[in-house]
Chain A
Amino acid sequence: MGPAPAGSGMYKRVSPIRVLNRGARRGLELINENRARNLIQSVIEYTGGRADGVEVTIDGSDVATSRFANNEMTQNQAPSCDRLSIRLLSGRRQIRMSSDVINRSGIRELVDSALAAVSFVAPDDEIEPLAEPESSGDTGSRFDRKVSLMSAVDRAGAIEKIIDQARGADLNASGVVASGSLTHAIGNSRGLFAFHRETHAECSVTVTAEDSSGWAKMVSPHADRVDTEALGRTALAKASLSARPREIEPGSYTAILEPAAVLDLLGFLLWDFAGTSHLDRRSCLLGQVGEKVFGENVSIFDDVYHGEQSGAPFDGEGLRRMRVPIVEQGVLKGLVYGRKSARRAGTSATGHGLPVPSNMGDYPMNLVMEGGSHSLEEMIRSTDRGILLSRVWYVRDVDPARKILTGMTRDGTFWVDNGELAGGIKNLRFNVSLKELLNNVIMLGTSARAAGEETFPAVVPALKVDGFRFTETTRF
């Protein structure tokens, strides 16, 4: 069968449905700031003087996901959940308990259970008192009404356009379109309170051809940053351009990494920038604060306030997140800390603590890597012989000391020859030291928000690097 024109009616017509707008779909309001404040206060009041302190966290999501594959819808799901979590302190003991039974009896059961259990916990001399109130940082609005109001019909409409593009080229489209909102609130018995709500729009598309594939993805709080049709076009173009892939001998090559590939590699370095990973003597950068660890063209920040970022401006204990310069011109300038690791390290917390208690302690969640001025086209034009990676897949830490990562290329791997894209190549396995890679950066693109599958979306550039070590090839 040849390609069907867009909107040709290949799909059966179904009865019209009434569109439920998202806020009304349960007949219940999502937890807003006032309700969060009241819920937190009711936990604190019910706990009363029976504990030395209580911290309350509320996390909610009503993100709905429509999935498609082989040019048709496969799943359509609207999971929705708010979750209440309390941390109760009693002397040198603490316990965290969570529940999604958020009503008066549920709260009473949660607090009573925590009070009953905390006395059985072994005492810990390193417990921090609850955080004191402080003013929150300002990220600007990350709530887009257009995203919050997207219905299943809207998502189906976006998917139909992606499928039409693929069918028009006699190819197959698969992917997801998701929309909804996320809520995060924290408060404690010392008077701290912080609230954050943002919307979540997501689209990822894989287009498959007989012997090739292409992929594109974006996640953002803002509807206008997730152009579903453009993502479909990108995935389709990559699938078409990488058709009839040839096999390349594994070896060390110049590599051009698109932002999604950069992101999913850099994600494996994040905890190495955390204070706890140094205190536990597990970081690959142990004892190197103040030293030059990467090339001079590498600068990395953690910055939740960056316009292309998402997330709340406070951490797991409610502390204001600070913008932290981590690497400046290749020098490891500083680490991120929660309150406990900061005290142990004799420094100040930066607002990067994970919810307490936590073995990992702290984590930079809002990576921003400074970019350069080179376009992807310039990187290709300046390359005699190399490989362009659209994305990487199943990346894992093989050697935490040398920071050797392994993984595969996927969905658009191209041979670059004499300054031009010279067709698709079969996918390759790589084993690269991230420490070496960041010392071998030749060119940087402009920094922009990117989404992958291994870590949080972040702001990163495309990179051209020398000496990217491919060790094996696969069969497709």
Chain B
Amino acid sequence: MDPIVSYALDSALACGAEYADVRFVRQQYEQIETKSLAVSGLNKGFSRGLGIRVLCQGGWGFASTQSLSRQAVALAAREAVCLARASASLMKQPVTLVDEPKYQAVWVSPHLIDPFTVSMEEKLGILLGAAETMLSVDGVSLAQGRMSFVREEKDFVSSEGSRITQTFIRSGCAIEAYATNADERQRRTYPKHFGQHELAGFEMVLAWDLPGHARTIAEEAVALLDAPQCPSGRRDVILGASQVGLQIHESCGHPGELDRALGQEINFAGASFLTPDKLNVLRYGSEKVNLVADATAAGALGSFGFDDEGVAAQKVFLVKEGTFVGYLSSRDTARLVGLSRSGGSMRAESWNRVPIIRMTNISIEAGDAGSLEDLIADTEDAILMETNKSWSIDSMRYNFQFSTEIAWEVKNGRRVRMFKNPSYSGITPEFWNSCDAVCGVEDWVNWGEPNCGKGQPMQMMWTGHGASPCRFRDVQTGIAHSGA
């Protein structure tokens, strides 16, 4: 570990910090974009810097520096302490932290192929090959592709004695087919909207086989132009696995963040209906619904060895057999509600952002309904909706509305026709209580969302959502277009 990290810690303590932690982060990234048969973007870069977080007189302060000179680091440490003292002047009670063991650890995310060793020729071959296939389908107006790769190395030290080094390799890939006519703008994406992202190497790009799925999404985009409008009314709904992932993200993950539940994020991201008085009481969903926050899931985008305040990765239940039983938490918010240990959810986007409570991998545990095809075969009358198109939910996380790229009517155990512009809406606990089937491991995927926004200034974060297709009874569909 670079000696400047210990120097930063010592500087903060010398300035009067009662607690301090320091993150030294190095990031390397590569983003490739293709548009039709050309490379429309190739962005590569490095980022390196040091963030210092301190508690002083019971208030938090955070400062950062990209200069690693001793002078710059010492000034950043002093500024963090000054900020903490300014915070302390407006605290009702001093911040205190729940205990966490100290760790001396090295952690590396699992990967087979370092994406930064794969040639540009191979990467572009995949994207442009997929584009060629999409554009060969009559009616496709635009084909786009994208890959992104990040290597992050992070050193963490704290005044409690932890010294942790972690290395993360994150990879993502996506293709998109567009079709346009006078009345419609339709799009199909694969593997899902914004693509699939994993804590994995280039092997994930190969496994998702973009060229092998290019024709299907292109044909579906064109077919959507002439498909009938998804009807408005109350229907049973089957959601595809990636849409279940986003439903979990918005209606369980965010309301399960303890800082939101305590009102600390109400000015921007909002609050939560999952207030502490509902813990272990509220019937959040049906008994089929088991939701976990699992930062230990191998290869999942929201996994790590330790969070950004040095708490070891954990798997905790948020909803168990339908009952709301747990939060995503930090060392200070855990103390506020009487928890003995943080759930380990504190992460920062980069070295120059302060850690805040973020989703890890918020997942629904696989159920007993078999595969998606088994579930369709078991369904008399429903609408199957797949691949998110838009998402919106109120600031307490009750009322939501999602639309998906495509839907099919299911009648007597079979898909019978395609619908365009599908949407569904509801109230979170009513919706999850209407869940009567969760598919099994056959179709369970740990989806990655690379762009979860929270905090002021806004921080983007990598989160994961393991999910399989689910069925929900008596859901409002199509209201977005009911008056259009």
Given contacts A72-B90, A98-B45, A117-B120, contact A427 B456 (CB under 8 A): no
Whole-angstrom distance between the alpha carbons of A463 and B394 in the complex?
23
How many whole Å from A14's CB to the nearest CB in chain B? 5
Contact of B88 (CB < 8 Å), options: A14, A109, A411:
A14
- Which residues of chain A are within 8 angstroms of B63 by Cβ–Cβ distance? 77-80
A476 touches B398 (CB 8 A): yes
B60 touches A282 (CB 8 A): no
How many whole Å from A251's CB to the nearest CB in chain B? 9
Contact of A408 with B by CB under 8 A: yes
- Which residues of chain B are within 8 angstroms of A68 by Cβ–Cβ distance? 90
Contact of B89 with A by CB under 8 A: yes
Whole-angstrom distance between the alpha carbons of A73 and B356 in the complex?
15
How many whole Å from B172's CB to the nearest CB in chain A? 15
**Most B CB within 10 A of own CB, among A67, A68, A69, A284:** A67
Contact of B183 with A by CB under 8 A: yes
Q: Restricting to B352-405, which residues have a CB under 8 Å from any CB of A? A: 352-354, 356, 389-396, 398-399, 401, 403
- A 365-398 to B, binary, CB cutoff 8 A, 1 in contact else 0: 0000000000000000000000000000111111
- Which residues of chain B are within 8 angstroms of A284 by Cβ–Cβ distance? 185
- B 297-318 to A, binary, CB cutoff 8 A, 1 in contact else 0: 0000000000000000000000
Contact of B42 with A by CB under 8 A: yes
Q: Restricting to A92-127, which residues have a CB under 8 Å from any CB of B? A: 94-102, 109-110, 113-114, 117, 120-122, 124-126
Given contacts A406-B392, A406-B480, contact A100 B59 (CB under 8 A): no
Contact of A26 (CB < 8 Å), options: B72, B91, B119, B457:
B72
Contact of B48 (CB < 8 Å), options: A13, A77, A101, A399:
A101
- Chain A minimum-CB-distance residue to B66: A100
B479 touches A76 (CB 8 A): no
Contact of B62 (CB < 8 Å), options: A26, A75, A398:
A75
- A 461-476 to B, binary, CB cutoff 8 A, 1 in contact else 0: 0000000010111111
- Which residues of chain A are within 8 angstroms of B356 by Cβ–Cβ distance? 75
Whole-angstrom distance between the alpha carbons of A354 and B398 in the complex?
37
How many whole Å from B307's CB to the nearest CB in chain A? 17
- Chain B minimum-CB-distance residue to A64: B83
Given contacts A12-B88, A99-B47, A113-B44, contact A433 B62 (CB under 8 A): no
**Could you say which of B31-39, B149-157, B198-206, B213-221 contacts chain A?**
B31-39
Q: Restricting to A1-33, which residues have a CB under 8 Å from any CB of B? A: 10-15, 17-18, 20, 25-28
Whole-angstrom distance between the alpha carbons of A64 and B79 in the complex?
11
Contact of A208 with B by CB under 8 A: yes
- Which residues of chain A are within 8 angstroms of B66 by Cβ–Cβ distance? 80-82, 100-102
B83 touches A76 (CB 8 A): yes
Could you tell me how many residues of chain A have their Cβ less than 8 Å away from some Cβ of chain B?
109
B43 touches A402 (CB 8 A): no
Contact of A159 with B by CB under 8 A: yes
B480 touches A431 (CB 8 A): yes
Q: Restricting to B434-482, which residues have a CB under 8 Å from any CB of A? A: 456-457, 476, 479-482
Contact of A100 (CB < 8 Å), options: B47, B91, B262:
B47
- Which residues of chain A are within 8 angstroms of B268 by Cβ–Cβ distance? 176, 204, 453
B45 touches A10 (CB 8 A): no
Contact of B76 (CB < 8 Å), options: A26, A72, A124, A469:
A26
Whole-angstrom distance between the alpha carbons of A156 and B90 in the complex?
7
Given contacts A76-B62, A155-B86, contact A429 B399 (CB under 8 A): yes
Contact of A205 with B by CB under 8 A: yes
- Which residues of chain A are within 8 angstroms of B94 by Cβ–Cβ distance? 12
Given contacts A69-B264, A78-B63, contact A471 B480 (CB under 8 A): yes
Contact of B87 (CB < 8 Å), options: A73, A109, A175, A205:
A73
Whole-angstrom distance between the alpha carbons of A72 and B340 in the complex?
24
A406 touches B64 (CB 8 A): no
- Which residues of chain B are within 8 angstroms of A28 by Cβ–Cβ distance? 67, 72
- Which residues of chain A are within 8 angstroms of B399 by Cβ–Cβ distance? 408, 427, 429, 472-475
- Chain B minimum-CB-distance residue to A473: B399
A96 touches B42 (CB 8 A): yes
Contact of A230 with B by CB under 8 A: no
Q: Restricting to B90-108, which residues have a CB under 8 Å from any CB of A? A: 90-92, 94
- Chain A minimum-CB-distance residue to B179: A281
A402 touches B484 (CB 8 A): yes
Given contacts A77-B62, A175-B267, contact A152 B82 (CB under 8 A): yes
- Chain A minimum-CB-distance residue to B390: A396
Contact of A240 with B by CB under 8 A: no
A126 touches B267 (CB 8 A): no
A77 touches B45 (CB 8 A): no
Contact of A410 with B by CB under 8 A: yes
- Which residues of chain B are within 8 angstroms of A69 by Cβ–Cβ distance? 263-267
B394 touches A97 (CB 8 A): no
- Chain B minimum-CB-distance residue to A204: B267
Q: Restricting to A145-201, which residues have a CB under 8 Å from any CB of B? A: 152-153, 155-156, 159-160, 163, 172, 174-176, 178
- Which residues of chain A are within 8 angstroms of B84 by Cβ–Cβ distance? 76
**Most B CB within 10 A of own CB, among A72, A156, A406:** A406
> DSSP majority for the B interface?
mixed
- Chain A minimum-CB-distance residue to B456: A176
Contact of B223 with A by CB under 8 A: no
**Most A CB within 10 A of own CB, among B60, B86, B391:** B86
- Which residues of chain B are within 8 angstroms of A110 by Cβ–Cβ distance? 46
Given contacts A398-B390, A400-B185, A406-B392, contact A431 B90 (CB under 8 A): no
How many whole Å from A54's CB to the nearest CB in chain B? 15
Whole-angstrom distance between the alpha carbons of A33 and B105 in the complex?
45
- Chain B minimum-CB-distance residue to A125: B38
Contact of A122 (CB < 8 Å), options: B71, B128, B403, B427:
B128
A401 touches B183 (CB 8 A): yes
Contact of A159 (CB < 8 Å), options: B40, B44, B90, B394:
B90
Q: Restricting to B392-425, which residues have a CB under 8 Å from any CB of A? A: 392-396, 398-399, 401, 403, 421, 423, 425
A17 touches B480 (CB 8 A): no
Contact of B481 (CB < 8 Å), options: A11, A126, A399:
A399
- Which residues of chain B are within 8 angstroms of A433 by Cβ–Cβ distance? 484
Whole-angstrom distance between the alpha carbons of A100 and B427 in the complex?
45
Contact of A396 (CB < 8 Å), options: B86, B392, B476:
B392
Given contacts A359-B41, A407-B392, contact A78 B79 (CB under 8 A): yes
A12 touches B91 (CB 8 A): yes
Q: Restricting to B117-152, which residues have a CB under 8 Å from any CB of A? A: 119-121, 124, 128, 141-142, 144
Whole-angstrom distance between the alpha carbons of A17 and B59 in the complex?
13
Whole-angstrom distance between the alpha carbons of A165 and B45 in the complex?
46
B33 touches A359 (CB 8 A): yes
Whole-angstrom distance between the alpha carbons of A20 and B63 in the complex?
13
- Which residues of chain B are within 8 angstroms of A411 by Cβ–Cβ distance? 395
B75 touches A152 (CB 8 A): no
Contact of A350 with B by CB under 8 A: no
Whole-angstrom distance between the alpha carbons of A431 and B481 in the complex?
8
Given A17-B86, A64-B83, A471-B480, list of 5 further CB < 8 A pairs? A75-B87, A75-B356, A152-B82, A206-B267, A431-B479
Can you give 19 A-B contacts (C-beta < 8 A)? A11-B90, A20-B79, A26-B65, A66-B86, A77-B61, A79-B62, A79-B352, A85-B45, A98-B44, A99-B47, A153-B86, A172-B263, A286-B180, A393-B394, A398-B389, A399-B480, A406-B480, A408-B399, A429-B401
**Interface of B toward A, CB cutoff 8 Å:** 33, 35, 38-49, 51, 57-67, 71-72, 75-76, 78-80, 82-92, 94, 119-121, 124, 128, 141-142, 144, 178, 180, 183-185, 262-268, 270, 273, 352-354, 356, 389-396, 398-399, 401, 403, 421, 423, 425, 427, 456-457, 476, 479-484
**Interface of A toward B, CB cutoff 8 Å:** 10-15, 17-18, 20, 25-28, 63-82, 85, 94-102, 109-110, 113-114, 117, 120-122, 124-126, 152-153, 155-156, 159-160, 163, 172, 174-176, 178, 204-206, 208, 213, 215, 252, 280-282, 284, 286, 357-359, 393-402, 404, 406-408, 410-411, 427, 429, 431, 433, 453, 469, 471-476
Which 6 A/B pairs are nearest by Cβ-Cβ distance?
A98-B45, A120-B120, A474-B399, A79-B352, A152-B86, A76-B83
